[in-house]
């Protein structure tokens, strides 16, 4: 049975939404669950809309794939995609991969891409053999963690000299948040620096909650932040950072407790987070606050052959 792969167009919006809701994709794209999933994906400044391609079998939507272009010190791309169960093992996934890889090679938005990666959350029964046949090799583990709702949530104990402010929408606080993010995560796995315009776009997304973003200040300078989001089925401590000069004083624990408290007041869904599997310091903190690993996420990568 033949299939067709073609670029996404605006008329495909509802088709893409149905593909995201299909069981083949729903567990992998659960952060984008809901009626506005396509807009949130295509609104990401690192995802070129022209990279998104859809696959069809006799007019029936069968799958999709797109590229994420990430301007780190070692520029890289993440490929994402899914094929519906009735259409697997027909070469559609391989063809989607080839199409999006070709896009990465010919695009001009981000030059000198050195690595291409693919990520997936458990279960890996389909993903692992597929990506390894394509020449990708294990690169990193990440852990999804959750905290039991019945656990007592301690109040944050703010270190001496630290003041806190919820986000007020001002350019000044947006700049502080951006600075704190870049300082906090500068040594992180495949770190992508955040430009000021990215923060502006993030704070103007419909799902952004200003009251879910807290900034901490010390000696007149931003020292850390806790950014929390509500998804369709869970709340998430989305990013939590402490600048290098403010580490070791208990600020990370206080920010985490604040985020957990905010989420528990905002939703009855599980309180979750995602952490780099090699960040032992963060893992110790989260475990000591009642979080436990519930699911793993794996990244595979391969060097991109230069033109």
For residues 182 and 275, membership in a common domain is answered with: yes
* Number of structural domains in the chain: 2
**Does residue 242 contact residue 255 with C-beta atoms inside 8 Å?**
yes
CA distance 75 to 152: 43
- The set of residues, in sequence order, having a beta carbon less than 8 Å from that of 42 and lying 6+ positions away, is 49, 52
108 and 8 in a common domain = yes
- Identify the pLDDT of residue 294: 95
Domain that holds residue 80: 4-139
pLDDT reported for residue 216? 98
pLDDT at position 253:
98
Q: Is residue 296 part of a domain?
A: no
Judge if 190 and 237 occupy the same domain. Answer: yes
60-70 β-sheet, strand order: 4-7, 53-57, 60-70, 76-83, 115-121, 292-303, 137-147, 271-276, 235-242, 221-230, 213-218, 162-166
**Is the same domain home to 31 and 8?**
yes
Q: What's the confidence (pLDDT) of residue 59?
A: 93
Which CATH number fits the domain that encloses residue 209?
3.40.630.30
51 conformational bin, left if phi > 0, alpha if psi -120 to 50, beta if neither: alpha
pLDDT along the chain (307 residues), means of 10: 93 96 91 87 93 97 98 96 94 97 96 95 87 96 93 91 97 96 96 91 88 97 97 94 97 98 95 96 96 96 81
Distance of alpha carbon 56 from the chain centroid: 27
Residue 223: inside a domain, yes or no? yes
Residues 53 and 170 in one domain: no
Residues 96 and 40 placed together within one structural domain of the fold: yes
Beta carbons of 199 and 177 less than 8 angstroms apart? yes
In the listed set 109, 139, 169, which residue is the last one of a domain according to the structure?
139
Residue 51 lies in a domain: yes
Tell me, yes or no, whether 261 and 166 share the same domain.
Answer: yes
- Domain membership flag for residue 304: no
What is the SS3 assignment for 260? helix
* Residues 75 and 204 occupy one common structural domain: no
Same domain, 165 and 233: yes
Instruction: Check whether residue 134 and residue 157 sit in a common domain.
Output: no
**95: in domain:** yes
Contact by Cβ (8 Å): 16, 8: yes
Query: Has residue 31 been placed in a domain?
Result: yes
Q: Which of 139, 169, 186 is the last residue of a domain?
A: 139
- Residue 89 backbone dihedrals phi, psi, to 5 degrees: 60, 35
In a domain, 144, yes or no: no
Domain boundary among 88, 104, 139: 139
Is residue 110 located within the same domain as residue 169?
Answer: no
Specify whether 126 is located in the same domain as 90: yes
What pLDDT is recorded for position 306?
60
Domain annotation covers residue 307: no
**pLDDT at residue 201, rounded to an integer:** 86
């Amino acid at each position: 049975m033949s299939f067709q792969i073609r670029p996404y167009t605006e008329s495909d919006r509802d088709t893409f939404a149905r593909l995201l809701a299909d069981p083949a994709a729903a567990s992998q794209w659960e952060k984008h669950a809901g009626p506005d999933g396509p807009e949130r994906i295509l609104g990401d400044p690192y995802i070129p809309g022209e990279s998104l391609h859809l696959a069809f079998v006799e007019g029936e939507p069968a799958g999709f794939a797109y590229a994420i272009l990430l301007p780190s010190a070692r520029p890289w791309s993440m490929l994402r995609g899914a094929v519906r169960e009735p259409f697997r093992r027909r070469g559609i996934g391989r063809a989607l991969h080839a199409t999006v890889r070709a896009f990465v090679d010919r695009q001009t938005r981000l030059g000198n891409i050195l690595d291409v990666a693919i990520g997936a959350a458990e279960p890996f029964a389909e993903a692992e053999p597929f990506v390894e046949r394509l020449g990708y090799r294990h690169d990193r583990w990440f852990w999804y963690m959750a905290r039991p709702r019945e656990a007592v949530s301690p109040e944050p104990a703010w270190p001496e000299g630290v003041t806190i402010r919820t986000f007020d929408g001002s350019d000044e606080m947006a700049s502080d948040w951006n600075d704190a993010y870049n300082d906090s995560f500068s040594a992180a796995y495949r770190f992508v620096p955040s430009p000021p315009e990215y923060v502006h776009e993030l704070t103007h997304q419909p799902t952004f909650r200003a009251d879910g973003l807290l900034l901490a200040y010390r000696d007149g300078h931003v020292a850390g932040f806790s950014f929390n989001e509500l998804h369709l089925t869970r709340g998430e401590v989305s990013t939590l950072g402490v600048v290098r000069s403010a580490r070791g004083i208990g600020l990370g624990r206080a920010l985490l407790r604040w985020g957990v408290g905010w989420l528990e007041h905002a939703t009855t869904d599980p309180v979750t987070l995602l952490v780099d599997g090699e960040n032992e310091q963060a893992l110790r903190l989260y475990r000591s606050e009642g979080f436990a690993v519930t699911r793993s996420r794996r990244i595979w990568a391969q060097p991109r052959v230069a033109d």
